[in-house]
Amino acid sequence: MAKVQRSAFVCQSCGAVSTRWAGKCASCGEWNTIVEEAAAAQPPGTGLARAARGRVIPLEPLQGATEEAARIPTGLAELDRVTGGGIVPGSALLIGGEPGIGKSTLLLQLAASLARRGQRIIYFSGEEAAAQVRLRAERLGLAQAPVALAPETNLANILATLADGRPPDLVIVDSIQTLWVDGLESAPGTVGQVRAATQALVRFAKAERSALMLVGHVTKDGQIAGPKVIEHMVDTVLYFEGDRGHAYRILRAVKNRFGATDEIGVFEMATDGLREVANPSELFLGDRDGVSPGAAVFAGVEGTRPILVEIQALVAPSSLGTPRRAAVGWDSGRLAMILAVLEARCGVSFAQHDVYLNVAGGLKVAEPAADLAAAAALLSSLSGIALPSDRVFFGEISLSGAVRATAHMTTRLREAQKLGFKSAVLPQAGEIEEQGLKLSMSRVSHLKELAAALPACH
C-alpha cells in the first residue's frame, strides 16, 4: 500500500496540532497562526514503537550526594541577578523579546565579557551577516574580544562545528527561528523546525556541559513560531522587554530551574550599548514637578528589589456616550476594576469621564499592590488636587473596597525613605519592622478612607 504523506496543522503561536486548517487557533485563540507542516516534523526516536523495547534503568532515592551547580559569572551584574548568580554550564537559556529590543546587543556584550576572561564563546548569527555583527561590536567597543563568530543557519553545520575542538563554554544562537534542520519539510521558523533544532542543541549542551543561549523572537503576527513553543525544553527563560520609545530595558526571568523567577535586571539602551542600571527607582521616578494632579508614586517590588515608579492618571470630562478607558503599562482590566470599586464602594463616579492611566518611564507594572497608587492617582486627577510629591502608596484593593496587606511592606517603606519620601499610605493589615523607619505612615483598611482623605491631603 502506498504510504500516504500526512500533514499536520500547527499553531505557530502555541504549538497546538490539529488535523485541519482553521483561521483561529482553538487552543490559544490567536488568529492566522496555523500553518501546514509535514507530519514527519516529529523528531526521530520519539515514536511509541521505539520505546517498546527498553532496558531496565536503575532507580535512585531522592536523597543523595548533589553538587551545587557551578556557575559562570557573566560580568554583567544585572544579568547575574536575573539568572540567579551566573550561567550554569550545560544549561539551556532562552531569551525572548520583540525584534529590535536589544537581544543581540545584550548577547554580544555578554559574549565579549566572557571571552575576555578566557572562556570559549561561539556566536552563531543566523540573522545578521558577520559584517553586521562586527559593526555592532565596533560600535560597542568590543571588537578586540576573542569571540568566535559564524553566520550559519544549518543545524548540521552548527553541530559539526561545535563538535570540532574543545567544547565551548557558551554557545549563542541568534536566533533559533532562523535555523533549519535537514530532512524536515517545513520552513525555518515553524514549530517543527524550531523544536527539532532546539532539541538537538540542548542535547549537545547537556552532553558537553556547554551553556547554550538561544534568542527567540516574539512576533505578533505569528508568522514564525514564538519562544513559547520551546519554553518547556530549556532550563531558563528570560524575556527582554521595554518600550522602544524609552531607553529602559527590563530583563525578566519567567522560568528558572537554577534560581528564583520574577527577579528583574534593568538596563538602559545608550549609543554605546546596554548600560546596567543599579538603582532603577531614580530612573523611573524621573523628573517630577509635584504640583500637577493625577500623579502618585507607587512603592513596588520586583523580585527582591524595590522599585519606585510614578503612576499618572488623567480624568477628563467625556463627550462620548461610552467614555474612554486606556491604560499604558498597566492591565486595563485592573483599571476597570478599580473604577468599579471606586464607584460602587466609595460613591465616586467616573461615568462621565474619560480615564487614562500611565506608568511613567515605560515600565510595566503587574503587582496588585499598585492598586492603591492607581486609585490615588485617579482620585487626585478627578478632584484636581495634587498629592504631596513626597508620599508613596501601596496596597491591594479587593472588590469589596478593602485594602489588603501586600508582601515586602518593610522593603517598600525603606526604599521610599532612602529616596527622600516623607510619608506613606499603606494597608492597615500586615506586619512592619518599624526599626529605623522615620516615614509618617497612614494605614488604611478601606478605599473609602483614601477617597475621603483626598481633598484634605493637600
For ligand TYD, the binding residue among 36, 138, 221, 272 (CB under 6 A) is: 272
Among positions 381-410, residues that touch ligand TYD (CB under 6 A) are: none
For Mg ion, the binding residue among 104, 125, 219, 380 (CB under 5 A) is: 104
Question: Which residue, among 82, 76, 85, 112, has the nearest Cα to 94 in the 3D structure?
Answer: 82
Q: Which is nearer to ligand TYD, 136 or 252 (CB)?
A: 136
Q: How far is CA 440 from the centre of its chain?
A: 34
Q: Which is nearer to Mg ion, 12 or 177 (CB)?
A: 177
Smallest separation, CB 103 to Mg ion (Å): 5
Alpha helix locations (H) across 61-102? 77-83
Q: Which is nearer to Mg ion, 33 or 104 (CB)?
A: 104
- Which grid coordinates belong to 444? 488604611
Question: What would the x/- binding string for ligand TYD be over residues 95 to 124, using CB under 6 A?
Answer: --x-xxxxxxx-------------------
Of 98-106, 289-297, 411-419, 426-434, the window that binds Mg ion (rule: CB under 5 A) is 98-106
Rounded to whole angstroms, what are the CA distances from 282 to 279, 288, 297? 6, 11, 12
Indicate whether 271 belongs to the interface with ligand TYD (CB under 6 A).
yes
Smallest separation, CB 196 to ligand TYD (Å): 23
Q: Which residue of this chain has its Cβ atom nearest to Mg ion in the complex?
A: 104
DSSP element (H, E) containing 217: strand 211-217
* 124-150 b/e (C-beta count within 10 Å ≥ 16 → b): bbbbbeeeebeebbeebebeebebebe
Q: Which is nearer to ligand TYD, 252 or 305 (CB)?
A: 252
If contact means CB under 5 to 8 A according to the sort of partner, which of Mg ion, ligand TYD, none does residue 139 touch? Answer: ligand TYD
The conformation of residue 397, written as its DSSP 8-state character, comes to: E
* Site of grid cell 517543527: 192
Among positions 210-269, residues that touch ligand TYD (CB under 6 A) are: 269
Measured CA to CA, the distance from residue 26 to residue 423 in angstroms comes to 50
Torsion angles phi and psi, residue 451, rounded to 5: -60, -40
Binding site for ligand TYD (CB under 6 A): 97, 99-105, 136, 139-140, 269, 271-273
Binding site for Mg ion (CB under 5 A): 104
